[in-house]
Amino acid sequence: MPSLRAHVFDWIIRWQVKPKLARAAGDVAAVRRIFDQASFPEPPGITFRPAEIGGIPGEWAERPGLAPDAPRLFYLHGGGFVGCSPRTHRPLTGAFAMRGFRVFCPDYRLAPEHPFPAALDDATAAWSAFAAAGPAGVAGDSAGGNLSLALMLRARRDGLPLPSAAVLFSPSTDMLGEGASMHANARRDAMFDPTKLQNLVEAYLAGHDPADPLASPLRGDLAGLPPLLFHVGAREVLRDDSVRFAEKARAAGVSAAVTIWPVVPHAWQLAQSFLPEARRSLSEAAAFLKSHARTPEVVR
């Protein structure tokens, strides 16, 4: 049963965030300000330090005293491809650090100043160097979930190590927006009006083919991907981006699980200091990543 706090949080997002995003439609700078102003408490006792991996700036999140062989996680933040940063996503990277991971979050370039494939290029450069240091998992939320999946397709294509497993929180997987939930959940989604999401797609793609699998991972050949776990809200317009991807992945022989959470809004894991569903989601994701920890394979 959903918690009372889930209902409260859904109400807050529905009445305080969704109208702002709707009014800002077409104004990428305004959308960026809204995303960047989102403020959630950082988990206590976690050290955040700047770093550069593979020539890409970013931030480590670590719990003091962590064992040298602690599992490693490469986290790609969301933000509609136009906003947010490792700093805005400290509630998530810090939450994984609390659960025993050594986490790196790259500060990839944002659209529209740097359209597709700049963000993916940065993620690939950072992942190539990160994975060279040992086995690791990958995780991402929203646009970061899209980049996580596209990164795996590109890594497989280019002969880079694949992650041991991946967790995707409400990822965008289809830039053509053909999932049934885009229409069925248009009013139920607490954050997004699907008619306004096209502005973010256009800012990111800048005329590039939305059916390109590196932009819409759902359109790619999914064979050979590592185990995948999707967490998505039942009311989200992006719900079927996860459901359809998992179905296609399983048909290609990939282990893929989806948990559909009632009531909670998009990227609810950011509210881990307040929301029990956020803490449960993060704990389940951490357990999944740890259960699949192994030496990543290199696909030739």
Catalytic residue (one of 142, 148, 170, 242) = 142
CA pair distance 203, 118, nearest whole angstrom: 12
Catalytic residue (one of 236, 242, 281, 292) = 236
- Give CA torsion, residues 238, 241, 243, 245, to 10 deg: -160
Catalytic (active site) residue 291? no
User: Cβ–Cβ contacts within 10 Å for residue 50, how many?
Assistant: 10
**Residue 38 in contact with residue 49, Cβ under 8 Å?**
no
Count of residues for the chain?
300
Kindly report the backbone phi and psi dihedral angles of residue 68, in degrees, each rounded to the nearest multiple of 5, phi listed first: -60, -30
**Residue 197 in contact with residue 177, Cβ under 8 Å?**
yes
CA pair distance 299, 277, nearest whole angstrom: 36
Catalytic (active site) residue 231? no
Catalytic (active site) residue 164? no
Catalytic residue (one of 89, 266, 277, 292) = 266
Q: Residue 145: which of 89, 202, 187 has the closest Cα?
A: 89
- Residues annotated as catalytic are 142, 236, 266
